[in-house]
Structure 1
Amino acid sequence: MRVAIISESFLPQVNGVTNSVLRVCEQLTRHGHEALVIAPGPGPAEWSGVPVVRTPSCPVPGYRDFRVALPFPAMTATLHEFDPDVVHLASPAVLGAQGATAAAELGIPCVAVYQTDLAAYAGRYRLGLAEAMVWRRLVRVHTAAARTLAPSRAAVRQLQAHGIDRVVRWGRGVDVERFRPDRRDESLRAAWAPGGQLVVGYVGRLAHEKDLGLLTAVQELPGVRLVMVGDGPQRRQLERQLDRALFTGVLTGDRLAGAFASLDVFVHTGPHETFCQAAQEALASGVPVVAPAAGGLLDLVQHEENGLLFAPGSAEELVACVRTLQHQPALRRRMGEGTRRSVEGRTWEAVGQELVRHYRDVVAEARTPHRRAAA
């Protein structure tokens, strides 16, 4: 197949949307499909054999490392020249809306992948956009798609509640070869926690919507060492607030895998996750997860089986969960044994094949005369 991927984010920006697009590109090229990425801002013009068309963009106020697409007049011409069978809209908003319009003009079916709770983010970053306004835009884009893929049951329900039809659950894969328990590094742990403390870690963007201030209470716990892996617009503020924590910056590849496996507990605090890939990578690494009982995390964390859930926004419950795992090592070990099993079937290979089946379905539907007439 020929697949045009229109993404609101791509390298050098590293986030959940970018990482998912990278894995999709890998799976498509590995199986002989052809792909093209269209993404905003400066960056590489090619990645892993996939050409990347860069479009105009501007930085987001308060988050200058993240860029938002500006109008791209050449969208229709770019799609026409590539002549895809299907257009993949990755977390569509501004650029995705342009892509959906152009695809409709050219008669190309679209698959829209919902990944980011943009309405919640708009409120967090005080962008002057009412949540209802953001949802109206998202509804228009997703309604124009032949199928919307949502990463979790909570995300499916959220989209359906706003009147979006043709929503199917499509999860995310995890690299179980890279993220695994035997990556645990005792020398790294000794450097992090020379006193033998319980190592509690967060991995991800250091940003307002993650509610990372809740970790203030965790760093105060006796016998606990808090490790923060990642970067983002809130880093300086958090370094002041979490003054007892260790900040590693961004880690990638095997260093990231080693960091995950060297934790005793992975903690996440964000209530707006449509999935949470970092939690899935922690589980693959054999690490119990403590997370808010909200959004996509409910699909990943089975309470008292592979982790513990707390009420979103409750520092008191978060601390209680960490204390439980700190003082009950047998429970922690039992959970650790179940974490890997909970994600072993979620490889990117399996997820990629499922995605291609969705592509083929919408292409077949678009070619069926009675469906075109009904549309």
Structure 2
Amino acid sequence: MKIVDVCAFLSPHGGGVKTYIEQKLAIGPRLGHQIVIIAPGDRDAVVERAPGARVVYLASPRFPLDRKYWYFDDETRLHAAISAEAPDFVEASSPWRSASMVGRWSGPAPRALVMHADPLSAYAYRWFGALLSREAIDRRFEMFWEHLRELGQAFDRVVCASGELQSRLAEGGVANTSLHPMGVEPGLFLPERRNPQVRRELLEVCDLPEEAHLLIAVGRLSPEKRWPMVIDAVAAASRSLPIGLVMLGAGRQKRRILAQIAGNPHIRLLTPERNRVRFATLLASADALIHGCEAETFCMAAAEARACGVPVIVPDRGGAADHARGGAGVTYEAGNAQSAAQAIEALFAGPPRESGPLETVTMEDHFARLFAEYAMIVGTGRSGV
């Protein structure tokens, strides 16, 4: 198949969408498919990535709220770019305005919306959750729910990477939802990468001895990640246990997070590790990963930790919660620092956890299953839309 992905939020500066697209460009041709990404950028350009994989950039304005991104502002031109590719299948990678544009494209190819974002959890539930129930918040955001329902009718599939997101969308009346959990990069995140020397060095950075517990946290320094809450939880748990926290991240909340750390020698904020082997080694050498965001659509960091045999401490809502199931970690009440501290204490109170045999889903597994469903839709036509 020729698969065209209209990806409105592709930034050269990184992020989960970029990681996903990079792997799609690499894996799709190996599975026998042609992959074309249509993305907004500063100028028109075509970048050949490999035989059967390329990125088509359409000159577009910068996104005013985050200038690392651009946005499609010309629907007619976007439709022309899709039609010029004569795709067998079309994807949209954002539930915002670009998805509506793709839904209105008049071409015959079936299409899927891949939910790389959960705006209700990232914004509405986080902003108003302390005051209102989710049901009350949903009623106040009925206009957005109606938008999602319209997308469910316009797309043959609304692809979700977590069971919680799929269930919530389906219960909210969004049609054609489909569950396709993502996976990790094959051959990289392995328990064998655990390195006692690396662990000792990280604990030394946290001014702690080898006998202490080592937590790692990974992700953008943005409000929805709730890093201040994570820092408070670790500080509280540290009153009864020797715990070091190493955070790997960059973003606009750096100053706020450093203020939250407030000179605590046992909590260190480091820059992201771009070397993937080194990153996998750091992850595998920790005693647990802690995460604060309940708005994850999958939570790649938690999946990578589990592939390394590292338990996770995650909120009980959102995609991160999936990775704690089956004894793979512990959950806490989303957004609650005291509950998170208790989860840390519970994890470390007993004997060290053995990772045991792991069933690791790779991104190749994910794309093989997803593209097989696309091929089935192509074969049966769009009668369900």
TM-score normalised by the chain length of structure 1: 0.87
SS at match of 2:95: coil
Alpha-carbon distance between aligned partners in 2 of 1:72 and 1:13, rounded to the nearest angstrom? 25
Structure 2: any 5+ residue segments left out of the alignment? 129-139
Verify: 1:115 aligned to 2:116, yes or no: yes
Verify: 1:153 aligned to 2:163, yes or no: yes
Q: Deviations over 1:210-243 (max 9, x none)?
A: 1211122303515111111121221221111123
**Contact 1:8–1:94 under 8 Å retained in 2:** no
**Contact 2:72–2:78 under 8 Å retained in 1:** no
Verify: 1:306 aligned to 2:316, yes or no: no
- Alpha-carbon spacing, 1:47–1:264, altered in 2? closer, same or farther (3 Å): farther
Aligned with 2:62 (options 58, 64, 78): 58
Q: State the percentage of identical aligned residues.
A: 25
The aligned amino acid for 1:27 is I
Aligned with 1:84 (options 76, 87, 105): 87
Verify: 1:101 aligned to 2:110, yes or no: no
Corresponding residue number in structure 1 for 2:202? 192
Aligned with 2:249 (options 213, 230, 243): 230
Alpha-carbon distance between aligned partners in 2 of 1:139 and 1:68, rounded to the nearest angstrom? 23
Corresponding residue number in structure 1 for 2:261? 242
Corresponding residue number in structure 1 for 2:191? 181
SS at match of 1:290: strand
Corresponding residue number in structure 1 for 2:371? 356
Verify: 1:33 aligned to 2:33, yes or no: yes
The aligned amino acid for 2:104 is T
Aligned with 1:315 (options 331, 337, 342): 337
The 5-angstrom pairing of residues 276-287 of structure 1 reads 276-287=299-310
Q: 1:109: Cα distance to partner?
A: 0.9
The aligned amino acid for 1:318 is A
Corresponding residue number in structure 2 for 1:16? 16
- Alpha-carbon spacing, 1:187–1:64, altered in 2? closer, same or farther (3 Å): farther
Q: 1:47: Cα distance to partner?
A: 6.1
SS at match of 1:172: coil
Q: 1:140: Cα distance to partner?
A: 2.1
Alpha-carbon distance between aligned partners in 2 of 1:272 and 1:212, rounded to the nearest angstrom? 13
- Alpha-carbon spacing, 1:83–1:72, altered in 2? closer, same or farther (3 Å): same
Q: 1:68: Cα distance to partner?
A: 4.0
Alpha-carbon distance between aligned partners in 2 of 1:319 and 1:122, rounded to the nearest angstrom? 24
Corresponding residue number in structure 1 for 2:286? 263
- Alpha-carbon spacing, 1:247–1:46, altered in 2? closer, same or farther (3 Å): farther
Alpha-carbon distance between aligned partners in 1 of 2:259 and 2:74, rounded to the nearest angstrom? 39
**Contact 1:151–1:172 under 8 Å retained in 2:** yes
Aligned with 1:201 (options 216, 232, 243): 216
Alpha-carbon distance between aligned partners in 2 of 1:101 and 1:264, rounded to the nearest angstrom? 49
Corresponding residue number in structure 2 for 1:218? 234
Higher mean C-alpha deviation, range 51-60 or range 257-266 = 51-60
The aligned amino acid for 2:269 is F
Q: Deviations over 1:283-322 (max 9, x none)?
A: 001111011111223322126x111111112211211221
Q: 1:209: Cα distance to partner?
A: 0.8
Structure 1: any 5+ residue segments left out of the alignment? none
**Contact 1:7–1:96 under 8 Å retained in 2:** no
- Alpha-carbon spacing, 1:187–1:84, altered in 2? closer, same or farther (3 Å): same
Size of the aligned set, in residue pairs, is 356
**Contact 1:5–1:37 under 8 Å retained in 2:** yes
Alpha-carbon distance between aligned partners in 2 of 1:125 and 1:80, rounded to the nearest angstrom? 40
The aligned amino acid for 1:32 is G
**Contact 2:191–2:307 under 8 Å retained in 1:** yes
Alpha-carbon distance between aligned partners in 1 of 2:184 and 2:54, rounded to the nearest angstrom? 24
SS at match of 2:215: strand
Alpha-carbon distance between aligned partners in 2 of 1:309 and 1:351, rounded to the nearest angstrom? 25
Corresponding residue number in structure 1 for 2:133? none
